[in-house]
Amino acid sequence: MRITRRKLIGSTVRVGLGFGLSRPLWACGEAPVAPPPSPEKALLTFPPELTDGSLSAARASQVIRPGLSAELWTLGRTYPSPTIRRRRGDTFELELTNELGEDTNIHWHGLSVPADMDGHPRDSVADGQARVYRFPIAQRAGTYWYHPHPHERTAKQVYLGMAGFFIVGDEEEDQIDLPRGELDVPLLLQDRRLTTGAIEYVPTMGDVANGYLGETLFVNGVPSARLEVASTLYRFRALNGSNARTFKLAFADGRSMHLIGTDGGLIDAPVATNELWLAPAERADLLVDFSSDPIGTSVKWMSESFAVGDAGAGHGGHGSAGTLVRQGARLELLQIDVARAGPPRTVPTSLAQLERLDPTAALRTRTFELIPREGVTSGMHVINGQVFALDRIDEEVPFGELEIWRVESKDSVSIHPMHLHGAQFRVVSRSGLALPSDRGWKDTVLVFPNETVELAVRFTDYRGAYLFHCHTLEHEDDGMMLNVNVT
């Protein structure tokens, strides 16, 4: 495995736990003195990097924070899984060796790959076996990711640590003046339950209904993290890798973020916003400006409280964690400390050329009705009345034909982030308010309770069996998934 450790933001390079030891020490009486960051915060770290080679699915223990070593399930014996970086036009090849003790596989979320390379749960790798994934990267530059997708075990394996970034670059993106190198920061956002002092996946019936929610926010595998930045413009690649928690991203001081990219790469022009929804599996590529912040400024990046998808209240919480664990609870994601001076930079005015999908040219409309568990005799999550079956084809979709997929949520409680394999799509309409992310290429779309969202979908890369499912992983494993056969 070719792995390199990426240089960290800040002056210390460390993998695992990092503490803020690199603060300047000021002589007594000298001003201004940056207030010391709260001591319990750990410096954000980054996973190792990999281009190709091999990865083993294996259990490994890792120090999560002082005094807490967790038994994790990993790809490559590290949590998060290694960050893969490749260019459009490359051929990617990786051998997965399964030493986990149960079936697993890898799905390349957001990448368009041949159906037999896509990590369909039918294509799992048994314990003790290996398989090679090999595919060309024909994708736009963007922030993609990978995780296991075995039948009814995705939620557990992802929760226990198996997920990583797959970042693709291309020439179109190279030509745009965007922050690069250490100013381009991948941030994997995940909530975890640490109430028992361990990382364990033991869902109750309530957790299956509402999703497995945690009270502690991990960024790149670090709980209660802080990031040291220079006073300049940054690119944050936010990936919501939570099983079920939706974030409403905002800075505590109200500063704006500029959305520059969505699941399928750059959008046409930056959109300034103070708030941004990010449901499980969605990615947001953001520019955040710290250029006018004096050194010593400390900003908190939050998930603000919200009242939709609120069934988590009273479920799954223990004692005081009960109120925090609920969907929509206000949580701190990351403390950002402006620690040194940086060059002033501006947000570009235009970004990428976006192909339009003209919804009036669609050849047909398909409807997908989302019904909560309670409303169904099987007691499981369904789409169009069906619980997922490995070998049943639910939709036959002609290759290359533009369609409208109408997703109607009949659920008054839960958010359902609907995800499609094998193609990126566009959001055509939403019965609720339009979201800034609706203007880009998407593979996962946030569907609010009782909302109807219309998508323009066209498969242009490969034929074969792909999946359409809710990316609340407990819902997916509980049957909220269909087989889509592209013919």
Q: Give 196's contacts (C-beta < 8 A, 6+ positions apart).
A: none
Site string for ligand C2O, 82-111 (x = CB under 6 A): -------------------------x-x--
Residue 109 or 426 having the CB closest to ligand C2O: 109
| Cβ closest to Cu ion, residue 173 vs residue 474 | 474
Tally of residues, the chain:
487
416 part of the interface to ligand C2O, by CB under 6 A: no
- DSSP alpha helices (H): ranges in 426-481? 473-477
Nearest approach in angstroms of CB 163 to ligand C2O is: 9
In whole angstroms, give the CA distance from residue 111 to residue 167. 10
Which of these, 440, 365, 352, lies nearest to 402 by C-alpha position? Answer: 365
Q: Which of 162, 233, 456, 470 binds Cu ion (CB under 5 A)?
A: 470
For 157, 164, 208, 235, 262, the CA distances from 214, given in Å and listed in that order, are 16, 19, 14, 27, 25
Question: Using CB under 6 A, which of the segments 8-16, 259-267, 334-342, 463-471 binds ligand C2O?
Answer: 463-471
Binding at 100: pick from ligand C2O, Cu ion, none (beta carbon under 5-8 Å per type): none
189 binds ligand C2O (CB under 6 A): no
Across the strands, what pairs with 5? none
Tokens 């314990």 appear where? 127
Decide which of Cu ion, ligand C2O, none touches 226; Cβ closer than 5 to 8 Å per partner kind. none
If binding is defined by CB under 6 A, does position 64 make contact with ligand C2O? no
When asked if residue 109 is in the footprint of Cu ion (CB under 5 A), the reply is yes
**Interacting partner of 475 out of Cu ion, ligand C2O, none (Cβ under 5 to 8 A depending on kind):** Cu ion
Tell me the window of 286-294, 307-315, 393-401, 466-474 that interacts with ligand C2O (CB under 6 A).
Answer: 466-474
DSSP per-residue letters across 295-310: TT-EEEEEE----SSG
Binding mask 258-287 for ligand C2O (x = CB under 6 A): -----------------------x------
CA torsion, ordered 403, 406, 407, 412, to nearest 10 deg: 170
| Contact flag: residue 475 with ligand C2O (CB under 6 A) | no
Q: Could you tell me the smallest distance in angstroms from the CB atom of residue 73 to Cu ion? A: 19
Q: Is 226 in the site for ligand C2O (CB under 6 A)?
A: no
Contact map string, positions 391 to 420, toward Cu ion, x by CB under 5 A: -------------------------x----
> Which value, to the nearest 10 degrees, does the dihedral of the CA atoms of residues 233, 249, 301, 194 take?
-140
423 near ligand C2O, rule: CB under 6 A: no
The piece of 51-59, 123-131, 405-413, 465-473 that touches ligand C2O (CB under 6 A) is 465-473
Of residues 419 and 442, the one with the C-beta less far from ligand C2O: 419
Q: Does 421 bind ligand C2O (CB under 6 A)?
A: yes
Report DSSP letters for 179-219, one per residue.
--GGGEEEEEEEEE--TTSS------HHHHHH----SEEEE
Rounded Cα gap, residues 155 and 133, in angstroms: 22
Query: Cβ closer to ligand C2O: 151 or 345?
Result: 151
SS3 annotation, 209-276: HHCCCCCEEEECCEECEEEEEEECEEEEEEEECCCCCCEEEEECCCCCEEEEEECCEEEEEEEEECCE
User: Please, are residues 381 and 387 in contact by the beta-carbon 8 Å criterion?
Assistant: yes
Sole window of 325-333, 348-356, 368-376, 464-472 interacting with ligand C2O (rule: CB under 6 A):
464-472
Amino acid in the structure at residue 220: N
120 touching ligand C2O, by CB under 6 A: no
**Alpha-carbon span 316 to 321, nearest angstrom:** 9
Distance, CA of 350 to CA of 233 (rounded, Å)? 16
Residue 472's binding partner among Cu ion, ligand C2O, none (Cβ under 5 to 8 angstroms by kind) is Cu ion
Give the shortest CB-158-to-ligand C2O separation in angstroms. 8
88 binds, among Cu ion, ligand C2O, none (CB under 5 to 8 A by kind): none
Nearer to Cu ion, 109 or 430 (CB): 109
**Nearest CB to ligand C2O, comparing residues 107 and 226:** 107
Token match 């407990």: residue? 474
Residue 460 CB, nearest approach to ligand C2O (Å): 19
Q: Exposed, middle or buried, 276 (CB in 10 Å: 0-12/13-18/19+)?
A: buried
Hey, what's the torsion of the CAs at 54, 58, 61, 63, to 10 degrees?
Answer: 40
Nearer to ligand C2O, 149 or 258 (CB): 149
Q: Contact with ligand C2O (CB under 6 A): which of 88, 283, 326, 419?
A: 419
**31 C-beta neighbours (distance < 10 Å), count:** 5
- Among Cu ion, ligand C2O, none, the one that 281 touches (CB under a kind-dependent 5 to 8 A) is ligand C2O
Interface positions with ligand C2O (CB under 6 A): 107, 109, 147, 149, 281, 419, 421, 467, 469, 471
Interface positions with Cu ion (CB under 5 A): 109, 416, 421, 470, 472, 475
